[in-house]
Structure 1
Amino acid sequence: MAKKKKQLLLLDALPFLEVTEIGTLSLEDRVKRIEDVVGRRFNSKTIVKEALTVPGASCSPKSRPDAHKDLAQVGDAVLNLALTMEGYRRGHDRATINRMISNKGSNVHLGEVCSKYGFDRLLYTDPSQLGSVSYRTRATAVEAILGAVYLDSSLDISAAISVMEALRLTWPSGGTLREQQQPPQQKSQQQQQQKKKKKKQENKQHQQQQQKKREKKEKKEKTQKQQQQQQQKKTKA
């Protein structure tokens, strides 16, 4: 109950109009609201409209009435690829990567992301739905937005990943799996070895500095001795 209340408060804090007024928003306003959330500017507003237009909406594009779902299919593939690439980089096994994909890419989670950032209030919906948006539709909307970003950026996966980061759809921050799974004793041993190595390097540098000082002193003494010998020869002469 507390979590649901927190989500509602978060939605209220965002600069969105009341649900009954959302239908009057222009495409430019909808695009800007998404851009403000994801931190990226779109080159094409048309592709954003396709991502926001639920099949059955009065403004569905006649040339591609299922563009919303088509973009979602692209976004789903991008989401899976990005999570798989990062999981591989971190050294996770396939089972762990698949669990992360199932978690981040589930309809429930994506639906919550859609509601959290108010994307559900920007959709062009079927009039028969009377403003209600199911979790499946919300999840599809998030995937469609990811797909739109990927296509709008000329297939730049890094652009899609930056949007995933903004929507908290990436792996948790931290080191690689191998670093995270190291036993405390092993970590302690490595830290001690690193300290010993550092101290050894410092001692070596100190010895080198002392050696240079000694050589400089010896050279100076030798020069002074030679000057004294030359002065003595001149005096005898």
Structure 2
Amino acid sequence: MPLSSTLAERVETLQHIIGYTFTNQALLFESLHSAGFYVPARSTRDGGHKDLAQVGDAVLRMVLILHGYQARKTRSTINNTISANASNANLAATGFDKTLDHFVMINPAQGRTVSNGVMASTVEALIGAVYIDSNMDIETVRSVIDTLDLGWPA
């Protein structure tokens, strides 16, 4: 089913924001579905993007650890960076700063406002979706993480 031009433009805008073009756009859409959001005639996981968010959380941590290891940072410094950069508060703030809330599909019972928790899990889900879509290419994911300002400070 072809995308409407409006939807195609939104997809293009989002891909520009994160610096990655999806091969499998179904992963992109899954990453934007919060739990409880229903799409008729479309098979989605029961928990919305929570499974992808779990992948994204693990990948974000792994990328931060690998970067710290390669830069010969101490375990304490690596752990502090993970605590700061991968915290739900930071993920949510980053998502709102990058205007990702304009793309999240939320449960209508939640109103029209994307909560901090949903935003944090959406950012994680996007990272997880990029990881899977890129055939688990760590450098591609690292680039997206850096584009989202979630990587190590320069």
Q: In structure 1, what is the equivalent of residue 17 of structure 2?
A: 37
Instruction: Confirm whether residue 98 of structure 1 aligns to residue 79 of structure 2.
Output: yes
Provide the rounded CA distance (Å) in 1 between the counterparts of 2:119 and 2:59.
17
Deviation at 1:131, TM superposition (A): 0.7
How many equivalent pairs are there? 150
Distance 1:150 1:119, change over 3 A: same
Instruction: Give runs of ≥4 in structure 1 deviating > 3 Å.
Output: 60-63
Q: Aligned in 2, Cα 1:167/1:63: closer, same or farther, shift over 3 Å?
A: closer
Deviations 1:207-227 (A, max 9, x none): xxxxxxxxxxxxxxxxxxxxx
TM-score, with length taken from structure 1: 0.60
Q: Does 1:127 align with 2:101?
A: no
Alignment of 1:126-165 (within 5 A): 126-165=107-146
- Equivalence map 1:1-237=2 (5 Å): 26-59=6-39, 62-173=43-154
Counterpart AA for 1:87: G
Moved more, 139-148 or 52-61: 52-61
Structure 2 unaligned segments of length 5 or more: list them.
Answer: none
Give the C-alpha shift of residue 94 in structure 1: 1.1
* Residues 53 and 59 in structure 1, CA contact (< 8 A), matched pair in contact too: no
Report which structure shows greater RCO (CA 8 Å, sep ≥6). 2
SS across alignment from 2:26: helix
Distance 1:45 1:80 in 2: 24
Higher helix share: 1
> Over aligned residue pairs, what C-alpha RMSD do you find?
1.8
| Alpha-carbon distance between aligned partners in 1 of 2:108 and 2:44, rounded to the nearest angstrom | 20
- Cα deviation for residue 33 of structure 1 reads 1.6
Q: 8 Å contact 2:36–2:48 — kept in the other structure?
A: no
Deviation, structure 1 residue 38 = 1.8
Whole-Å separation in 1 of the counterparts to 2:26 and 2:92: 23
Q: Larger Cα Rg: Structure 1 or Structure 2?
A: 1
Q: Distance in 1 between matches of 2:107 and 2:86?
A: 24
> What percent of counterpart residues are identical?
38
TM-score (norm 2): 0.90
